[in-house]
Amino acid sequence: MSGTPADLTDVRAAAELITFGLARRARPVEGSEYRTLLDRYRTELRFKDVVDTMAEGLGLEVLGTPRAGIVLVPDPGGPFATRLGDLRAMAEDERLVFGLVLIGIAAYAYPNDIDFDDPETKLIDIPRIDEFLRAAIAAADLPADDDRARTAAEVYADLPSFVPTQTGRRARGCTLRAVEEVCGWLVGQGAAREAPTLGPDTFHLTDRFRLLVGDSAGTSALEALREVRREGVS
């Protein structure tokens, strides 16, 4: 940011925009305050500098401003970092499976680098992600030095796809329930939206998820699953 002191009204506006971004489910619809601030960020360099500097001070980075709104990613050690510990209490195996499902969804939806530049909504559904992961585990060449990924794959492969509750829902301890939980978590993070008109197990992945996956692309386990997806496993 330039050496000229920022106007306090700009500082307040920057804080409001960051607040909208942290809300995750907030959407910059036409005529809203969120949309007005987002447009300022896109068009006013000085205001953009104020927002970026404030975000950096809070341990955040602005990844982009797609149509879904401003996308903020926290520093791993920062106060806004998302941790698996924020979820319900999980055993270690459950945590490993959760992480594997998360990167499996990313690999399934964005197998090619060009996909990160495509704002078109990606659709996923729970049974298809489960099928992909099972096929990918059998086909993927997971890195030998990534013990967590290999252990997660082994745990996932050993679990049944479906265990019913007394009411016929998916019980904990099956992979369909694991995928369901991850999808629900993504909705809570503003990275996915339910698509009930397309089926109870169908979700839209948002631009927020696309940018976050693009920012993390290159990790060995994710790239191994993306390669399998590119080869046509589904």
pLDDT digits over 166-190, tens only? Answer: 999 999 999 999 999 999 999 988 8
Same domain? For 20 and 115 the reply is: no
pLDDT in tens, 188-203: 888 899 999 999 899 9
Same domain? For 67 and 38 the reply is: yes
pLDDT in tens, 132-167: 999 999 887 777 667 888 899 999 999 999 999 999
Q: 132 in a domain, yes or no?
A: yes
Query: Alpha helix locations (H) across the chain?
Result: 8-23, 33-43, 45-57, 92-109, 126-139, 147-158, 175-188, 207-216, 220-230
Count of domains for the chain: 2
Q: 47 in a domain, yes or no?
A: yes
CB 225 within 8 A of CB 136: yes
Judge whether residue 5 has pLDDT over 60. Answer: no
Per-residue pLDDT at 1? 47
Query: Alpha helix locations (H) across 171-219?
Result: 175-188, 207-216
Per-residue pLDDT at 59? 87
Same domain? For 155 and 42 the reply is: no
Residue 205: exposure state from Cβ atoms within 10 A (0-12, 13-18, ≥19): buried
Per-residue pLDDT at 132? 96
Q: 65 in a domain, yes or no?
A: yes
Same domain? For 88 and 136 the reply is: yes
Beta bridge partners, 71, equal 64
Judge whether residue 18 has pLDDT over 70. Answer: yes
In this structure, of 36-50, 52-66, 85-99, 169-183, the range with the lowest mean pLDDT score is 85-99
Its pTM stands at 0.78
Judge whether residue 105 has pLDDT over 90. Answer: yes
The domain containing residue 174 runs over which residues? 84-230
Tokens at 145, concatenated = 């030095």
Same domain? For 101 and 212 the reply is: yes
